Amino acid sequence: MKNLIIASTSTVHGSDPLAYLLDELSIFYKDTEEILFIPYARPGGITHDAYTTAIGKAFAKINKTVRGIHEFENPAEAIADAKAIFTGGGNTFLLVSQLYVYQVIQPLREAIFNGTPYLGTSAGSNICGLTMQTTNDMPIIYPPSFKTLGVIPFNINPHYLDPIEGSTHMGETRETRIKEFHKFNSLPVVGIREGSWIRVKGDQTTLEGPHSARIFEQDKTPVELSTGSEIIFP
């Protein structure tokens, strides 16, 4: 049975990493003391070791230990043996590229469908969708494919931002970019605002956290989904 938390971000309002989610994660990861961390997205170019250390400090607050997947000789085996998994944020293009380089897309997908608890934030949330094409990141590296895990039947847009009333900014809004995506792609997109997350338990997918989400479907007017609601597409 699938068991996921798909969060917009790891850090809210300048707080410590995962601080807003720790109470939830202490329950989510209650059956394990060690979490396998996938640091491939490397926010700001941080090293795998430095990223893993930072995440380890966050999880120490709920008495969990963290090991980076880069510490294992065989990443696919590490995923298969893991009792819990977390993929952090950073650059989605880099993350997906590395998942293909180390040949762990399929092992990770299988682990999730086999019920291994999986937390994704930002880039780690993007990869839960069918493709990574609704990321906000710069294409700093070219992955072999935009196809990702497909453990949910829609795409994610994390860090979703609403237009600022009265702003004179002339660039595209997030909604405009997703409309551009829908000119060529039919996949639904869920825009998750900071501080909220999607909870997947088996076949049930629910929005949780303090904020509503923005739902986009091709050739339809975007709608708001209130927190606590189930996410269902025809």
pLDDT below 70 — which residues of the chain? 13, 166-171
State which H helix or E strand residue 26 sits in.
helix 22-28
Residue 137 a catalytic site member: yes
Whether residue 232 lies inside any domain: the answer is no
Region for residue 209 given its phi and psi (left: phi exceeds 0; alpha: psi -120 to 50; beta: otherwise): left
CB atoms within 10 A of CB 187: 18
Which residues have C-beta within 8 Å of that of residue 167, sequence separation ≥ 6? none
Closest CA to 179 of 223, 222, 233, 120: 222
Whether residue 188 lies inside any domain: the answer is yes
List the catalytic residue out of 16, 48, 159, 229. Answer: 159
Whether residue 24 lies inside any domain: the answer is yes
**Whole-number Å distance between alpha carbons of 95 and 93:** 6
Query: Please, which contacts does 140-143 make with residues 24 or more away whose CB atoms are closer than 8 Å?
Result: 140/91, 140/93, 140/94, 141/91, 141/93, 141/94, 141/97, 142/93, 142/97, 143/93, 143/96, 143/97, 143/100
Whether residue 158 lies inside any domain: the answer is yes
Whether residue 231 lies inside any domain: the answer is no
State which H helix or E strand residue 189 sits in.
strand 189-191
- CATH number of the domain encompassing residue 208: 3.40.50.880
Which residues have C-beta within 8 Å of that of residue 24, sequence separation ≥ 6? 5, 197
CB atoms within 10 A of CB 43: 17
Judging by beta carbons within 10 Å of its beta carbon (0-12, 13-18, 19+), is residue 172 exposed, middle or buried?
exposed
**Whole-number Å distance between alpha carbons of 91 and 82:** 24
Residue 211 a catalytic site member: no
Residue 16 a catalytic site member: no
DSSP state string for 75-135: HHHHHHH-S-EEE--S-HHHHHHHHHHTT-HHHHHHHHHTT--EEEETHHHHTTSSBSTT-
List the catalytic residue out of 122, 125, 196, 212. Answer: 122
List the catalytic residue out of 10, 97, 137, 182. Answer: 137
Whether residue 129 lies inside any domain: the answer is yes
Whether residue 181 lies inside any domain: the answer is yes
Number of domains in the chain: 1
State which H helix or E strand residue 52 sits in.
helix 48-60
Provide the domain limits for residue 170: 3-225
Whether residue 154 lies inside any domain: the answer is yes
pLDDT in tens, 166-225: 666 666 899 999 999 999 999 999 999 999 999 999 999 999 999 999 999 999 999 999
> How high is the pLDDT of residue 169?
67
